[in-house]
Structure 1
Amino acid sequence: MSSSHLALSCLDLTNLENDCTESDIAALCARAVTPHGPVAAVCIWPRFVAQAADALGGRPVRIATVANFPGGDQSVETTVAETQDSIRAGADEIDLVIPYRRLRADTGMVAAYVSEIRQAAHGVTLKTILETGELEDEDQIRLASEVCLAAGADFLKTSTGKVAVNATPEAAEVMLETIRAHGGRAGFKAAGGIRTPEAARSYLDLADTIMGPGWAGPKTFRFGASGLLDTLTADIEGRAAASGSGY
């Protein structure tokens, strides 16, 4: 399998634009099963989960949605309700923004928050968004990773795609090393700013180096992107394509 085929199978095809419409979601779901295989999931606003569940029924594409997004500043009660509503509507995965601004001052609060959502999301995949571009240094990224893994997160995700600095190889390295130190049982998701096959390949290569060849796959590794699908498809088909845009 080429790296572009692998990246496509690990893609969370995403539309988290503020002006997203039902028509946009219909188009997103239609693109999720490609001639080269399905993407891993669609990642969408909670209000579109039921629509996506209807559109993708019977297809091998999971439905991911967001919680406490994008600011990470909702009350835990609000996020619990949001999470439970999304699951009832058909969500298979919850991408939770942790209250990252509180990490340094009140690590225990962040741990308790993630634990509450882990309980609310019983039976579905919990991907915790660290917003690594807003954390102060690698030590904070490592601390956030450790807190989330200890609280039961299934994935560590870099970013919302809504801040100035999103996924970076430096943050990914710290997160993958922490996952390895915790037994390699959790997955990793790079999100925001990944638009080319070359960029995707660099993250897959990093995973091979840290976690071992063959570790990365849809159950353990994801890309959060929209425009990446077009450039991966072009690469697989051996044709040129403009760089993807968007999340």
Structure 2
Amino acid sequence: MNIVDCRAVAMRALACLDLTNLDATCTPADVAALCARATTAHGPVAAICIWPRFVAQARPLLTGTPVRIATVVNFPDGESAIDAILDETDRAMVDGADEIDMVIAYRRIATDPAEAEAQVARVRAATQGATRGATLKVILETGELEDPALIRSASGIAIRAGADFIKTSTGKVTVNATPEAARIMLSVIAETGGKVGFKAAGGIRTLDDAATYLGLADEILGADWARPETFRFGASGLLDALLAELDGRTAARETGTGY
């Protein structure tokens, strides 16, 4: 891509970024720093994504900005009891979460898909039952599912159960987002009307990575589909790469070639 195209991709990706810190060692100071970084000289990211225990802290820090607060439930192993997941969801929403990223019971997709679907449906109902609703993103953990047929099945289950987005990964396993899994998920979204969003998460660090996933969305769902309301990146390091491009600090800008 030329410089103009690189900047265009960087701007698109920035607006669709869920700036994430789900490190086990995350502290209140880290969350404050994440909130401060979420509004850049080139515009805000779509959301921050943090542990539930930090949502109440982040809420006043982001008041007056368009940046949304996402948090995680049934995370990362997808094995919590439904009552615990619902309690976690309710608390997060009371604390001010705008978006709930829920891990589906992915180990049951092959053996008990009806149970996995029922679980998502109950969390979906919970996100719609409060004074203000929350966006539900369902994490499929595609690197663990591995089989394209299971990824397709999990995508359909999540969509039927009411997911607003389907998301590739937790970022906590060996294989996270891949273009191959993204293509399957985006194809299922297209086949079901294109109204459900897509989030790629885990291992997305470079402008090349962002361009790959945006290109897939453009190919399968059209050039106008991928926007913050329908498309997200879950990442921590990607912001640095995007700002380097937008600030003209990349090696490409210095040499005048490539990225």
- Shorter-chain TM-score bucket reads over 0.9
Q: In the aligned structure 2, how far is the partner of 1:86 from the partner of 1:156?
A: 20
Alignment of 1:41-120 (within 5 A): 41-120=47-126
1:26 to 32, 40, 44: 32
Give the count of matched residue pairs.
241
SS of the counterpart of 1:95?
A: strand
- Give 1:238 shift: 1.6
The equivalent residue for 2:229 is 219
SS at match of 1:119: helix
1:167 corresponds in structure 2 to 177
**Structure 1: which amino acid aligns with 2:150?**
Q
Of 13, 18, 23, 2:19 maps to: 13
Partner of 1:190: 200
Q: Provide the C-alpha distance between the structure 2 equivalents of 1:70 and 1:50, rounded to a whole number of angstroms.
A: 21
Q: TM-score, normalised by structure 2?
A: 0.92
Specify the alignment match of 1:150 in structure 2.
160
| Alignment gaps of 5+ in structure 1 | 242-247
**How big is the shift at 1:240?**
2.4
**Corresponding residue number in structure 1 for 2:43:** 37
Alpha-carbon RMSD across the aligned residues, in angstroms, is 0.8
Provide the residue aligned with 2:250 in structure 1: 240
Identical pairs, percent? 61
Q: Post-superposition shift, 1:136?
A: 3.4
1:53 match: secondary structure? helix
Find the partner of 1:141 among 151, 154, 161: 151
Could you list the runs of 4 or more consecutive aligned residues of structure 1 that deviate by over 4 angstroms after TM superposition?
Answer: none
Letter in 1 for 2:80: Q
Looking at structure 2, the residues matched to 14 and 228 of structure 1 have their Cα atoms a distance apart, in angstroms, of 10
Residues in 1 aligned to 2:23 and 2:212: alpha-carbon distance in whole angstroms = 26
1:2 match: secondary structure: helix
Q: CA deviation at 1:147?
A: 0.3
Is the deviation greater in 157-166 or in 134-143? 134-143
Q: Whole-Å Cα distance in 2 between the matches of residues 210 and 103 of structure 1?
A: 25
Distance 2:170 2:17 in 1: 15
Superposition pairs for residues 173-184 of structure 1, below 5 Å?
173-184=183-194
Alpha-carbon offset, residue 58 of structure 1: 1.1
How far residue 4 of structure 1 moved from its aligned partner, in angstroms, is 0.4
Indicate the residue corresponding to 1:245 in structure 2. none
